[in-house]
Chains A and B, each alone.
Chain A
Amino acid sequence: MSLRTNIQRWIFNKESAQSRPAEKLPDTERKPTLAQTLDEYKDCADLIHRTYPDIQVEVLYFGHMVNKDLLNREVIALLLNVEPDEVGNLLNQPQFKVANDSKGLIIGILSGQIAIFRGEIVYLADIRGPESRSVTQSETETVITGPHDAFNEEIDINLSLIRRRVKSSHLKVVKLSVGEITKTNVCVLYILDIVNMDYVDEFVRRIRAIEVDGIYDTNMLIQYIDDSPISIFPQFLTSERPDAIASKLLAGRVIGLVDGSPSVVSAPTSFFEFFSSSDDYYQRWSIGTATRLLRFIAFGITISFTSMYVSVTTFHYEMIPENLLLTLTESRSRVPFPPLYEALLMEVTIELLREAGARLPTKIGQTIGIVGGIVIGQAAVQAGLTSNILIIAVASSAIASFVIPSYVMSASIRLIRFSLIMAAGIWGNFGIAIAITALVIHMCGLTSLGSSYLTPVAPFKFKDWRDTFIRSPFKTLIERPSQSRTKNRIRNKMKK
C-alpha cells in the first residue's frame, strides 16, 4: 500500500476493512471413504487399520488415543461375534454415529474415536481413553480453606469438575475447534437464563475468527481474542479452580475451556476481579473484606514505594521529615549512583531472583531465595551499592506484588512499576502523576468482551462495590454483578 493511501486512510473516515478477518466458509463437504482416509493418514505409522472380511467391515484408530478396555468391549468383541446380517443392526446402536463429512471423520480419529467403514457408510464410536494426570491441587491458586481440587490438562475431566458443581441442565456447552493443525478442542460454557447471550455470541465469534496453526494453552487463546491485544493488562480472568469457575458461571460469565490447558477463562472481567480470591468467600466476611482491602493496599504499595523513594531522594528531599532525613542521608552517603540507577539495579535483581526461583525445582528455588536474600540484603548495602531504605522499599513492593492473587495481573503490575520508577527518576512527583494519568487513561479505554474494564468504578456501580472492594455478608449479596448485564439479576432471595 502506498504512503499516500496510508496517509489518506489515517486522515479520512474510510474503513476499508474490518479489524478482524472475516470467517472462512467451511471446506466443501465430501463424503468420507476408506481410501481417502488412508491417503490422509499416509505415513502415520501409529494408525491401526483392522479388517473384518467376514462382515466386510474395516476399522481405523490410533491405538494410543483410545481406551483399550472400551475398544475391546464396545467394538472389537461385538464385531468379532456378530453375524454378517446383523452388522447393520449393531451399527445402528446409539454409540455408533454416522460420519457424513471427511473433515469430521479425520478430526474424530485424531481425537481418539474409532472409525468403522462398512460399505459406503462410515461410523464413529467415541472410545477415547484419557491419559492424563489426576486431579491435583493448584500450585498457582492455593487456598487455605475451601476445596483443593484443580483443573488439569484433560478437557473432559475439567468439564466433569464443573458439571459436578453446577448440576443444571441450563449449563450449556458449545464445542469449537481452534488451530488449523492442532485442532484443539475449545468448549464454551454458560448458564442459559443467567448469561447475556450477546456475550456468548461475541465470545464464540472471536474464537471462531482465530486463524492460526495451533494453540496450546488458554492464556494463549485469550491473547488472540483480547479486546486490546497490545495492552499490558490481562483482559480475561483465568483460573485453575473449579469452584471459582462455577461461581463465575452463576455470576453470568461466559467460560472457556481449552483442551490441554489447566487454566479456564472467564469473561467478561474487570480489573478489580483480579484482586479477589476464592478464599474471600470461604472465610468470615470481615476476614474476607480485610484481606481484599489488604490486596488493594498491596497494589498501591507495589506501584508506588520504589518510585516514591526515587522521586523523593532525587528531587524532593524537602518532603522528608528532619529525623528521617538524617537516617536517609546517612544510608545514601556511600552509594555512588543516582537513586534511579540504584532502584533499577535492585528491582532487576529482585526480578532475576523471582524468575530463577520460579524456573527451578522447589528445593533449589529456596536456596536461590536465601542466597539472593543475603546478597541483596546485606552484601549490597555493605558494598555501598545501595541504601538500606531502598532495600526496604524494593522488598516491600516485591512482597506486595505477590499478594495479588492472579499471577498474570501481578506480573503486569510489576512491569508497570518499572515505568513509574523511570517517570519518578525523570520528573519526580510530577513524573509519577503523569505516569498514573497515562495509566488511568489507558485503563479507561480498555474493555473486556466489550464491557468496561474498570467496572464498577467506571462506569460507577456502587451496588457492586459490596463484592469488589469488600466482601460483604452473603445475605447482602443479593444481585449478580452488573457487568454480566443479565436479565436474571437476583441471586439471593433470602431476607436480610
Chain B
Amino acid sequence: MKEKLSCFHAAILVHMTQTGIVIFALPGLLAVQFGTNGWLAVPLYFIVTLINVSLIAIVYRVGEGKSIFDILERSIPKVMLYPLYVFLIGLWSLIGCIAAKKYILLFQLIAFPTTNPMAFKFVIDLLAYALIVKGLYNIAKTATVFFWLIIWMGLFLFYFFGDLEWVTFTPFVFQGGHHDVKTYFDIYAAFLGYELSLLFIGYSDRKTRLVKAIIWGNGITAINYILICLVSFGFFSLPQLKSLFVPLLDLLASIKLPFIERIENLLYGFFLFSTILTIGMYSWSAKEVSQRIFPTVRSRFLAFVIVLLSFIVSFIPKSLYEVDKWLRLLAYLEFWVAFGLPLLLISVLIVQRGSKGELSHG
C-alpha cells in the first residue's frame, strides 16, 4: 500500500520547501522595499499566501481529493494540456536549478571562491536526484529530519537579544522604502513553495488534513521569517540593512562562542538541508508533471533527465547578478502559477460539476 502523508509531515514539507536561499537576503529586501520596521510586512505576505492557500483548499474540497492532473485531464484533452505541462516542467525544474546555483554562488562569497561552482552544483544535483527518486513520502521524511537538524539554529537568535538596539524599531512604519513593484515579487519568492502542495493531493487522505498542514507549514515559515527579520532590524540599522547583500550571513558571522567563532560558513553549510529540499521539491514536481506526458517511462529516468537538463542549463548564468535576474523572472512566473493554477482547476471543477448536474437531472 502506498503510504500517505501525515499532517505533520506535510506541514514540515511545505515549510522546508519554502525556506530557501531568499531567507538570507529577506531582511535586506524588506528594508529596501518597506523601510522602517519592514519586518512588519512579513505578516502581510503571510495573509496573501493564506488567500492562495484558500484557493488550493477549494480545489482539494471540490475535487474530492483527486489529483490535479486527473481533474484537468477529465475535461481538457491531453494534447491541449501538453503546452501547460511543458511550461510547468520548465518552470519548476529551472526554479530548482537556479536556486541551487544561487546557493552555491552565495557560499562562494564566504568560502572556496576559486573553485568552479559547477563542481558544487554537480554534487548538489546528485543529492537532489537521490532525494527525488525516493518519492514524496521519503522526501517528507527527509524534510522532517532536516527540520530537526536546522531548527536548533533558532537558538542563536537569543544570542543577539543583548545586542538589539530598540531604537531601530522606530514608531515609524514603512518609511523610507522604495516600494518597487518588482521587489514585491522578490520578497514573495521567500514564501513560494507552498503552491507545490497542489501536487500532494494525490498523496494524501483525510488523515493528512492537507489544508491544515499547508497553513501550519506556512505559519512556521512566517514565524521563522518574523523572528529573523525582527532580530535583523534590531541588530542592524536601517541604512546598514539596506546596504547588506545577505544580512543573515552577516548576522551569523557576528556570533562568537568561547571555543568557536565566525561560524557563518558552517551554519550556511547546514542551510544546505533546507535548500536541497527546495531544489528537490521543485524538481520532483517537474518530474510528476513529466510523468503525465510520458506515463510509460520510468520515473527514475525522468528524474535523471530533469536533473541533467537543469544541470546543463545552470552553466548559463555565471554571476550572482545574472542568477538573481533569472530568479526574479522565475519567481514572478511562479507567483502567477501559484494563483493561476488553482483558479484554472476551480473553473474546470465548476464545469465538471455543472455537466454532472445536467447529467443527473437530464
B130 within 8 A of A: yes
The chain B residue sitting closest to A323, CB to CB, is: B258
Quick check: A460 and B272 within 8 Å, CB to CB? Answer: no
Q: How far is the CB of B6 from chain A (nearest CB, A)?
A: 6
Interface residues of B in 154-180 (CB under 8 A from A): none
Interface residues of B in 244-284 (CB under 8 A from A): 256, 258-263, 265-266, 269-270, 272-273, 276
Q: Contacts A12-B298, A13-B297, A438-B127 given; indicate if A458 touches B144 (C-beta within 8 A).
A: yes
Interface segment, B55-63, B89-97, B134-142, B319-327? B134-142
Q: A419 to B32, alpha carbons, bound, how many Å?
A: 43
Quick check: B141 and A454 within 8 Å, CB to CB? Answer: yes
Interface segment, A158-166, A234-242, A428-436, A487-495? A428-436
Quick check: A316 and B144 within 8 Å, CB to CB? Answer: no
Quick check: A430 and B269 within 8 Å, CB to CB? Answer: yes
Q: A441 to B142, alpha carbons, bound, how many Å?
A: 6
Quick check: B297 and A12 within 8 Å, CB to CB? Answer: yes
Q: A443 to B8, alpha carbons, bound, how many Å?
A: 19
Q: A441 to B144, alpha carbons, bound, how many Å?
A: 11
B216 within 8 A of A: no
Quick check: B112 and A430 within 8 Å, CB to CB? Answer: yes
B148 within 8 A of A: yes
Q: How far is the CB of A430 from chain B (nearest CB, A)?
A: 5
B120 within 8 A of A: yes
What are the residues of chain B within 8 A of A321 when measuring CB–CB?
Answer: 256, 258-261
Quick check: B142 and A444 within 8 Å, CB to CB? Answer: yes
What are the residues of chain B within 8 A of A11 when measuring CB–CB?
Answer: 297-298, 301
Produce 1/0 per residue, A376-406, CB < 8 A to B. Answer: 0000000000000000000000000000000
A440 within 8 A of B: yes
What are the residues of chain A within 8 A of B8 when measuring CB–CB?
Answer: 460
Quick check: B6 and A427 within 8 Å, CB to CB? Answer: no
What are the residues of chain A within 8 A of B258 when measuring CB–CB?
Answer: 321
Q: Contacts A11-B297, A318-B262 given; indicate if A459 touches B273 (C-beta within 8 A).
A: no
Q: How far is the CB of A299 from chain B (nearest CB, A)?
A: 13
Produce 1/0 per residue, A436-473, CB < 8 A to B. Answer: 11101111110000001010011110000000000000
B123 within 8 A of A: yes
Q: A292 to B291, alpha carbons, bound, how many Å?
A: 45
Q: A88 to B355, alpha carbons, bound, how many Å?
A: 82
Quick check: A12 and B142 within 8 Å, CB to CB? Answer: no
Quick check: A459 and B9 within 8 Å, CB to CB? Answer: yes
The chain B residue sitting closest to A318, CB to CB, is: B262
Produce 1/0 per residue, B2-20, CB < 8 A to A. Answer: 0000101100100000000
Quick check: B142 and A440 within 8 Å, CB to CB? Answer: yes
Q: Contacts A440-B149, A452-B141 given; indicate if A429 touches B269 (C-beta within 8 A).
A: yes
Quick check: B298 and A460 within 8 Å, CB to CB? Answer: no
Which 6 pairs of residues, A with B, have the shortest CB-CB distance? Answer: A433-B269, A458-B141, A458-B144, A444-B142, A444-B141, A429-B269
Residues of B that sit less than 8 Å from A by CB:
6, 8-9, 12, 107, 111-112, 115, 120, 123-124, 127, 130-131, 134, 138, 140-142, 144-146, 148-149, 256, 258-263, 265-266, 269-270, 272-273, 276, 296-298, 300-301
Pick 5 A–B contacts, CB within 8 A, sort by A.
A13-B298, A433-B269, A434-B124, A458-B9, A458-B142
Residues of A that sit less than 8 Å from B by CB:
10-13, 315-316, 318-321, 324, 427-430, 432-434, 436-438, 440-445, 452, 454, 457-460
